[in-house]
Amino acid sequence: MQVLVLVLIGMMAGYVLRHVEILKKVSVSITVTTCVMLFMLGVSVGGNKELLSNLGDYGWQALLLCCAGLAGSILFTMLINRLFFNEAEKKGDAGNE
């Protein structure tokens, strides 16, 4: 619940501050921060002996869950893109002719 509240607060702050020039360059810092967080997650998993010892038991389940989540994300993104963005592009192209 706290994560959702923080995301909503961030969205409101981004909306209010959307015209501030420095915030338009945030995407680079987001990429770097995400990479550092993923690295630290890997360090945490690699340092957990109990998790690594049970990897053989739960590894296939984790891989299946990961692949299913990835496939669902890709399919949902394609659906949203087709429903909303392609229609807007067609309307924009029709006005240029």
pLDDT digit string, tens, across residues 68-93: 999 999 999 999 998 888 765 666 65
pTM over cut 0.75: no
pLDDT single digits (tens) 45-70: 889 888 888 878 877 888 899 999 99
Q: Using CA atoms, how far apart are residues 56 and 51, in angstroms rounded to an integer?
A: 10
Structure tokens at 83: 């429903």
3-state secondary structure (DSSP) of residue 87: helix
- Please, what is the end-to-end C-alpha distance for the chain in angstroms? 49
- CA atoms of 1 and 73, how far apart (whole Å): 21
Distance CA 38, CA 32 (A): 10
